[in-house]
Amino acid sequence: MGTELTKRSLVELAVERMRERILQGDWHVGQRLPTEPELALQLGISRNTVREAMRVLAFAGLVEIRQGDGSYLRTCHDPLQAVQALARCTLEQARETRHILETEAIGLAALRHTEEDLQALREALDGSAAHFHGDVDAYVSCDLVFHQRLIDAAHNPALSELYRYFSGVVAAALQHNMQSAPRSQATFDLHGQILDAIEQRDPQRAKALSRALIES
């Protein structure tokens, strides 16, 4: 147990030192990082600890490990900070962000969707309908799948990835709304109307319905 704790704390220390160097600008985006032996010497730790720390940074999205080629810096901005900023936003800030991100993406989805997107959206909406009168957490999980598929139908990977980061905030807002007010069938019906507008390739109607849903 003690050995495991010591090993974990060494890895955490290595991760912290490497994060500091990244944030200080010691390495540039796209730059190949020093090798594990070089980093071990620079940081005064073992190669195994460096290897574990690099895996943590890769999982966090800061570093890309290319097999047989080394590790490269993907970004100087820690995605964890973005997630933490999202978690701290107020319900009103979440609503503003949804208007900017979700409504515009839904407009694009109306123009770019495929038949496969429509099928996936119908399936997700059926899942939401099955849980609408049941457990709040189960309904919110299904509803998030529907919303993510709406954004994915815009076929813009950057928007899809941003929404994945943001979905935790959406979930919290949905849970708050459902626990603080009676469930509204009219609000739920807006989802189906959005899907209809997307299927009809009517971006203006889809966006107007999306705005109504966010404000509901």
- Give the Å distances, CA to CA, from 33 to 37, 54, 65, 81, 125: 11, 10, 10, 22, 45
- 2-77 is a CATH 1.10.10.10 domain: yes
Q: Which helix (H) or strand (E) holds 58?
A: helix 47-59
pLDDT the model gives residue 119? 96
- Cα-Cα-Cα-Cα dihedral sign, residues 10, 11, 15, 21: positive
Most confident of the ranges 19-23, 172-176, 196-200: 196-200
8 vs 191 pLDDT, higher one: 191
Tell me the domain boundaries of the chain. 2-77, 81-215
Residue 8 pLDDT more than 70? no
Measured distance CA(89)–CA(158) in Å, rounded: 21
Residue 49: both structure tokens together: 């600890």
Q: Would the pTM of this model clear 0.75, i.e. be above it? A: no
What's the pLDDT score for residue 22? 83
pLDDT for the residue numbered 168: 75
**CA angle, corner 77, sides to 31 and 161, nearest 5?**
100
Q: Which amino acid is at 167?
A: S
Tokens coding 132: 């609408």
Question: What is the rounded CA–CA span in Å between residue 2 and residue 4?
Answer: 5
CATH top class, domain 81-215? mainly alpha
The SS3 assignment for 99 reads helix
Whether pLDDT at 7 is above 70: no
For residue 2, pLDDT beyond 60: no
- Check: CB of residue 83 under 8 Å from CB of residue 43: no
pLDDT tens for 141-175 read: 889 899 999 999 999 998 998 888 787 777 777 77
Mean pLDDT for 45-68 is 85
